[in-house]
Chains A and B, each alone.
Chain A
Amino acid sequence: MIVGEQLTIEVRQDDDRIVLTLHGELDLLGAPRLRGEIESHAVDAADIVVLDLDDVQFIDSAGLRVVLAAHERTVERGQRLALTPGSPQVQRLLSIAGVSGHLQTIASADAALV
C-alpha cells in the first residue's frame, strides 16, 4: 500500500453551513478520517454540509464510498450536501462513477446552493 500524503480535514462552521476542507489524498487510509468527521455532532447539527475537495490530489473508490455515504446520510437526515469540483482526477472519477447527477456541485465552498 502506498502511503500518499495523509489526509487532513479543516472544519469551519458558518451559521447553518459546515464546511469540511480536505487536504491530501482521500484513499483507503484517508477515508475513515472523513467518515469520522461526517458522523460528528457538528456535521449532524448543520443544515448544509460542504465538502471542499479543491485541495484533494487523489480520490479512489474507498474515498468515493465515503462521499456517497455522506450523501445518503444527509438525504436521510434532511440535510443538503454539496461538493466543490476538485482536481481533474476527482472530477474524472465522479464522472466515470456516474454519480455527478446525484451530487450537487458548487463553484466554491461559500457559493450558494441551487
Chain B
Amino acid sequence: MTELIDFISNNMQMIYIVVLMIFVGVEIIGHVPAVLHTPLMSGANAIHGVVIIGAILVLLGVNPDNYLGQSLGFVAVLLGTLNVVGGFVVTDRMLEMFKKKKE
C-alpha cells in the first residue's frame, strides 16, 4: 500500500496527463457523422502506432549480448512501422472521397 501511495505522489504529473487525455479523447469524439466513423477509427489506429517509440527505445538500450532482445526488438520496430505507415496511408485513401465535397 505504501508503495502505491509513493508511486502516486512521485508520478502525479503522469497521472494528471492520463486523466486529462481521457477527457480530451472523450470530448474529441463529439458528434461525428456515421460516414466518418471508419476513417476516424483508422486515424486513431495510426496514432497508437506511437508504440514504435517504445520499440525504438528497447533497441537503443539493449545489451549487445542480448541476441533474443535485439531480434525481438527489430521485429517490434518493424511491426510498429507497419502500424504507423499503413495506418496513415489507409486513412488517407479512405478520405479520398471527401476531395470533392464542398462544405
- Chains A and B come from one and the same complex: no
